[in-house]
Amino acid sequence: MARNAVTVEFTGVENIQEIFNKMPAQYGKKPVQTAFIKAAKPFIAALKANMPPKLSSLSKAIAYKRGKGAAISVGIYAKKAQKTLRDKKDYDAFFPLYWNNYGTYGNRDGSHTFKNTRKGKTANRSGGIKPLRFVERSWDATKEQVAKDIQTELVTQTDKFLKKYAI
């Protein structure tokens, strides 16, 4: 995924902040991150399955990273694999996957808000790689499952914590 964060909104769980506030101080980020990592597995699998076949060798670039707080991020990460393209140059896996997801030149994805506009040097070029939007399709197909799994895993991890510390 591009380096844009994805916000997950749960409905029917309005009191989740209150639950976290009542948790003992020892209940650290690790059990919450573990729950998020387990719940993210369907999204990661769908992302790898929806990748363009010509780039399937770059599936190592799809992973999760633990955040500083009780959070993780899942997507396409740099410095995980290399790909030699038609110009005979080696590129980090992030770039061909990003280009295939969002498109290039005149074919850039119109539904995505890009941080930077096209540079003047390429502003008049047409064509380019067509956007496949495989990251968005993967997320749309799995977001309900991920939300459900987060709730289930949080209960499981909380039970483990409570048994461990006998609260």
Q: Per-residue pLDDT for 6 more than 90?
A: no
pTM of the model: 0.75
Instruction: Tell me the DSSP string of 98-156.
Output: HHHHH--GGG--TTS--SSPPPTTTTT----PPP--HHHHHHHHHHHHHHHHHHHHHHH
Q: How far apart are CA 76 and CA 60, in angstroms?
A: 9
pLDDT at residue 137 in the model: 95
Q: How far apart are CA 167 and CA 161, in angstroms?
A: 9
Binning pLDDT at 50, 70 and 90, where does residue 149 land?
very high
Domain chopping of the chain, boundaries: 28-165
Q: Per-residue pLDDT for 20 more than 80?
A: no
Q: How far apart are CA 35 and CA 37, in angstroms?
A: 6
State pLDDT tens for residues 31-86: 888 899 999 999 999 999 999 999 999 999 999 999 887 889 999 998 888 888 88
pLDDT at residue 161 in the model: 74
Helices and strands: H and E segment counts in the chain: 4, 4
Cβ atoms of residues 106 and 126 within 8 Å = yes
State pLDDT tens for residues 91-135: 999 999 999 999 998 899 988 888 888 888 988 888 899 999 999
Q: How far apart are CA 35 and CA 146, in angstroms?
A: 10
Of the chain, the end-to-end C-alpha distance in Å amounts to: 40
Q: Per-residue pLDDT for 16 more than 90?
A: no
